[in-house]
Amino acid sequence: LSTMAKEKKVPIYRYTSNGVELGYACGKNFAVSAFAVIDEGESSILQLVKKGK
């Protein structure tokens, strides 16, 4: 995933906790190992990523 993202110049944000907590943060009841933001809509997800850099 990292190699392909670098080739396409797609930024990656590494979540510092585990997949179960990432799943809960995404509103899911299961572990999430990766996800993509296609359309941020009304959310502020991309602003959170910018703060984390």
- 14: domain range? 2-52
- Whether the model clears a pTM of 0.75, i.e. scores above it, the answer is no
Mean pLDDT rounded to a whole number for the chain? 85
Percent of the chain scoring above 70 in pLDDT: 89
The tokens describing 48, both together, are 């959170």
The tokens describing 29, both together, are 């009841």
Work out the pLDDT band at 53, boundaries 50, 70, 90: low
Q: How far apart are CA 25 and CA 38, in angstroms?
A: 17
Q: Does 51 score more than 70 pLDDT? A: no
Give the model confidence (pLDDT) of 6-21 as tens digits: 999 988 888 889 999 9
- Count structural domains, the chain: 1
